[in-house]
Amino acid sequence: MDTEPGEVTERQRALGEQLSAYRKLAGLTQAQLAKRLYCDRTTLAHVERGQRSRDEAFWRAADEALAAAGQLLAAYRTFENARAQAEHAARIAELEHHQRKIAQWGSGAGLQLVGVGPGTDVAAAGASAMTLGPALGAAADAARGPDLPVVTSTQVHEMVDHLREQWHLLVKTDNLFGPRYALTSVQSHLVMIGDLLAVTRDHARREVARVAAQYAESAAWLHEDAGGLDRAVYWTNRALEWAHEADDRVMLAWTLFRRSQQAAASGDAGQTIGLVQAAQRDEAALAGPMRAALAQQEAHGYALDGDAGSTLRKLDEALAWAATDTDGDARGGHGSFCTESYLELQRASCWLTLQQPKRAIEVFDRTLPTLPAVYRRDRGVALSRFAVAYAAVDEVEQAASVAREALGIARSAGSVRTEREIQVVGQRLHRHQRVAEVAHLLDDLAIAGMP
C-alpha cells in the first residue's frame, strides 16, 4: 500500500523522538552527541524534532554512538522505505497528470508520453533511463507516426507553458534527490518534446525548440552527474542545436558554460577558460545569477592552471552577482543555484585544486552548515571534496566520517561523479584501515560495489 505524505511526516517525527530517547538514555546533551556525529547542535535538534532528515551514514553513526544495537538504523530504514513509497506514488500521480494534459490537447495530435503510463514501474524506468543516450532520438523518431497533424499555435503555447512548469519541478527533484529520480522524467519529456517538434513549424517550432534546449541541457547535466560523460556531451550538443534554432542567445551562453564544466571535469584548463569566456561575450544581456555562474566557472579554469590570483579574483566577482534562491527550482533563471553558500563551496573546491587543502577545510567547515536544505545533491558533492581535503592533510577519522555521509547521499541520488571522488578517498585511507571509522568507510564502499 502506498504511504501518504502525512504519514511520512509522522514517521520522521517518531524517528527523531527515538533518537532523542536514546540520547537521553546515554546521558548525553545534544551538543555532546552532535560533536560525536560531526554535525552542529542545531542540526541535531532539527532531526530530533522531525524537521530535518539525514542519510543512512548519520543514523549508522548515531546507532553506534548511542549503543542502540541496530535499533536506530533499522528505524531509519523503515522510515526511508515509507518515504520512497510516498515519492513513488507522487511520481506516478505526476506522470498520470501528464497523460491527462495530453488527452486535453487531443489524442488526434498523435502525442503521447512514450513508455510511461498508469501502473508503470518508475524505479525500473529510472534504471533504464540511466543508460539512455543518442539512441533515444532514433527511438523517438521510430515511435512517431508518419502523418501527425499540425497542432494549433494556442495548443503549442499551452503545451510549452506546461513543459516549462514541469521543468522547474524536475530541477527541484534533481537538487533534492539527484539524477536517479530526475533523469527518467527528463528523458520522457524529451520524447514528448520530440513529438511536438515533428508537428510544429515556423514561430511555434522555435518556441518548442527553446524549451527543447532547456530539457536537453538538463539531460546533459544529469547524465554527467550519473557518470555518463559521453551522453552528457551528446545532449549538450543537442541543446546547442536547439538553442541556435530558437535564436536563444542566453541558452547558447549557458550551453557553452556546460561545455566548460565538462572540459574542467577532463582537466583541460585552456578549454575550460576559453569556453566560459565565449559564453561571457553577451554578458551585458545576462542576469546576475548567470554571470555569477560564469565567473565562478572561469575561476575553476584558473585553478586548474595553477593561477591562484585570477581564481580568487573571479570568485570575488561571482559573489557580487550571487543569487538568493533557496527553493532549488531555478525560477530565478540560469544560475539560480549560485547563492553565496554555493559560491563559497566553489572557493573551497578551487583551494583544493590549487593544492591548498587546509584553506579548503576552513571554507568547507564554515560554509556547509549554511547551504539550503533543498540543495541536498550539492551537499553530497561538497562533502566528498571536504573528505578529500581532510585526507590530504591526514585527518583520517574526519575524512572517513565525512566521506561516509557523502556516500550515503551519492548512493541514494545515483551521483556516480560523487561516488568516484569518495572511492579516491577510500583508496587514500586504505592504509589506515585499522582505524574504526576508516574500516566503516571501506565496508560502506564494499557495500556500494566499489573495490
- Nearest Cα neighbor of 308 from 318, 316, 299 is 299
Is residue 63 one of the residues assigned to a domain? yes
Q: What is the mean pLDDT of residues 45-64?
A: 87
Is residue 66 one of the residues assigned to a domain? yes
What is the total count of domains within the chain?
2
Is residue 187 one of the residues assigned to a domain? yes
Tell me: do 142 and 225 sit in the same domain. Answer: yes
- Name the band, by pLDDT with cuts 50, 70 and 90, for residue 111: very low
Tell me: do 66 and 141 sit in the same domain. Answer: no
Is residue 186 one of the residues assigned to a domain? yes
Which residues are bridge partners to 339 per DSSP? Answer: 323
pLDDT at 105: 52
User: CA 148 to CA 68: how far, in whole Å?
Assistant: 62
Determine the longest span between alpha carbons in the chain, in angstroms.
73
Residue 242 contacts by C-beta under 8 Å, 6 or more apart in sequence? 209, 210, 212, 213, 216, 251
Is residue 349 one of the residues assigned to a domain? no
pLDDT at 40: 82
Q: Can you read off the three cell numbers belonging to residue 328?
A: 532549488
State which residues form the domain around 176.
106-247
pLDDT over 70 (residue 220): yes
Higher-scoring residue by pLDDT: 244, 135? 244
DSSP of 330-384: -TT-TTTT-BHHHHHHHHHHHHHHTT-HHHHHHHHHHHGGGS-TT-HHHHHHHHH
Is residue 189 one of the residues assigned to a domain? yes
pLDDT at 130: 38
Q: What is the mean pLDDT of residues 86-100?
A: 61
Q: What is the mean pLDDT of residues 204-225?
A: 95
Is residue 412 one of the residues assigned to a domain? no
The rounded percent of the chain whose pLDDT value lies above 90 is 59
Whether the Cβ atoms of residue 305 and residue 269 lie closer than 8 Å to each other: yes
**Neighbour count for residue 135 (Cβ, 10 Å):** 11
pLDDT at 123: 36
Whether the Cβ atoms of residue 79 and residue 7 lie closer than 8 Å to each other: no
The rounded percent of the chain whose pLDDT value lies above 70 is 84
pLDDT at 177: 87
Is residue 350 one of the residues assigned to a domain? no
- Nearest Cα neighbor of 11 from 55, 50, 62, 65 is 50
Higher-scoring residue by pLDDT: 420, 118? 420
**How far apart, in Å, are the Cα atoms of 200 and each of 156, 204, 246, 438, 449?**
8, 6, 13, 58, 46
Angle at 321 between CA 379 and CA 225, to 5 degrees: 30
pLDDT at 95: 55
Q: What is the mean pLDDT of residues 92-114?
A: 50
Which residues are bridge partners to 323 per DSSP? Answer: 339
Tell me: do 230 and 110 sit in the same domain. Answer: yes
**How far apart, in Å, are the Cα atoms of 211 and each of 142, 167, 204?**
22, 9, 11
For residue 148, report the phi and psi dihedrals to the nearest 5 degrees: -70, 135
Q: Look at residues 23, 54, 76 and tell me which one is the last residue of a structural domain.
A: 76
Q: Look at residues 222, 247, 272 and tell me which one is the last residue of a structural domain.
A: 247
Q: Can you read off the three cell numbers belonging to residue 164?
A: 516549462
pLDDT at 415: 92
pLDDT over 80 (residue 127): no
Residue 147 contacts by C-beta under 8 Å, 6 or more apart in sequence? none
Tell me: do 191 and 68 sit in the same domain. Answer: no
Long-range contacts, stretch 418-425, CB < 8 angstroms, 24+ apart: 418/225, 418/380, 418/381, 418/384, 419/227, 419/448, 419/450, 420/227, 421/381, 421/384, 421/385, 421/387, 421/388, 422/384, 422/387, 423/450, 423/451, 424/388, 425/384, 425/387, 425/388, 425/391, 425/399, 425/400
Tell me: do 122 and 242 sit in the same domain. Answer: yes
Tell me: do 111 and 68 sit in the same domain. Answer: no
pLDDT at 109: 41
pLDDT at 110: 43
Whether the Cβ atoms of residue 59 and residue 12 lie closer than 8 Å to each other: no
pLDDT at 43: 85
Tell me: do 70 and 174 sit in the same domain. Answer: no
Tell me: do 47 and 120 sit in the same domain. Answer: no
pLDDT at 365: 95
**Neighbour count for residue 335 (Cβ, 10 Å):** 28
Place of cell 532539527: 46
pLDDT at 396: 96
pLDDT at 98: 56
**Neighbour count for residue 317 (Cβ, 10 Å):** 16
pLDDT at 428: 94
Per-residue pLDDT of 161-187, as tens digits, reads 999 999 999 999 898 888 888 988 899
pLDDT at 5: 57
User: CA 235 to CA 270: how far, in whole Å?
Assistant: 22
Ranking 148-157, 230-239, 267-276, 335-344 by mean pLDDT, the lowest is 148-157
Q: What is the mean pLDDT of residues 189-194?
A: 91
Tell me: do 167 and 211 sit in the same domain. Answer: yes
Tell me: do 9 and 51 sit in the same domain. Answer: yes
User: CA 115 to CA 99: how far, in whole Å?
Assistant: 11
Higher-scoring residue by pLDDT: 173, 106? 173
- Indicate which CATH number applies to the domain containing 58: 1.10.260.40
Tell me: do 47 and 110 sit in the same domain. Answer: no
Tell me: do 170 and 229 sit in the same domain. Answer: yes
Ranking 10-24, 46-60, 117-131, 265-279 by mean pLDDT, the lowest is 117-131
pLDDT over 70 (residue 137): no
Q: Look at residues 247, 266, 281 and tell me which one is the last residue of a structural domain.
A: 247
pLDDT at 121: 37
- Name the band, by pLDDT with cuts 50, 70 and 90, for residue 139: very low
Q: Can you read off the three cell numbers belonging to residue 404?
A: 561516509
